[in-house]
Structure 1
Amino acid sequence: MTTEAPHALVVLAHPRADSLTARVAARARARLLADGHTVDVLDLHADGFDPRMTVEDEPDWADRDKVYSAEVRAHMARIEAADTIVVVFPVWWFGLPALLQGWIDRVWNYGFAYGRSRPRLAGKRMLWLGLAGYSHEHFTKGGWDDLLDRRLRIGISNFVGIEDAHVHLFHDTVATGAHDTELLTSAEKVITTYTHTPPTP
């Protein structure tokens, strides 16, 4: 009897292919592959995803079975196919980049990600990896770590039925670039720890 390999979706939201964020996403992909996952990489910028809400993709509270645009349905299929979702993003204005927020707005839509008694995304695992420019001390003092954790883990992941969710922030990511290697190694360790931790029942 064969068991299918776990499947991961790595979502990248950064305009530069050579950015530290992109390198963290590449390291995440490599680690997931090494740990036996199949991996689908969704580079929102490279794919030309349009984050602007359209009438076609606006939620219809009277019709949770509304058929959304072909672009959105294709993204929904990629999310649904994944056992684990890893989102890698720069922290801008203490939150998500507009492109990533637009992806959540358009794709994690009513009737798909929420609005049903049995959430369709329940049972998946989710890891948010954010790269923040400020120091850990500055971020913690301002309460931004807690704010992002509550918003992403509870406000998005838990809200759509993904109980096994974790937010990890990397700090000082625009200082000098001197600790990039250390950060990439740390990112790999976070991925390894997460994938080797049994899923939350």
Structure 2
Amino acid sequence: MELKKCRIGEVDVILNCAGLWPPAKQRREMGLETAPLKPVTRVGENALQKLDALIERMNAMPALAAKEAAARQKTNRIDFIEDDEATIQRKLAELEADRSLSVLEDPGGIKQYDNDLAKQVEIVNEGLDGWERSGMTPTPYYSYRIAVILSKEKEVEREKDFLAAWCRHFSEVGVGQRYADLVKRARKKGAIPKV
């Protein structure tokens, strides 16, 4: 502990102290802590087959224009004033079905799956189910993780194929920075033409 500054007031004493703690490398050398484990990337032949099936699915799906996606979202939006009780219950059930249960209900959270290609593909597939039903764009985080995993594994052509298929559907309708990052990545990798 190092005293940085002190002030004596009329009724109190104010001390500013700095805790002196060695840098992480030195703490590890002294045995005070261990280095964080590097995440293990899990990419097996089964995961690659699932990814290929996902790419085929996206290529076979008709691409929705922004107006079509908005119309589909409007059709599936719940209007608690205009909709009758049966319609509200049906739409609530559909929204519940669109939730990614495989991740949201998992006590370990999404970070444990960051480098698991098969799990990322499963989550994106679930997002596509919701996209087809309600026009709600899937969360781009998992698609981004697929691209990162493929890049780490030097699966250049698969990454390009995946990004091209993904951008075909979501480059125009996805709103937010992660969607923009995916489009930028696709252009950089040559999966879609540069603007």
Normalising by structure 1, report the TM-score: 0.29
More helix by share: 2
More strand by share: 1
* Greater RCO (CA < 8 Å, at least 6 residues apart): 1
Max Rg structure: 2
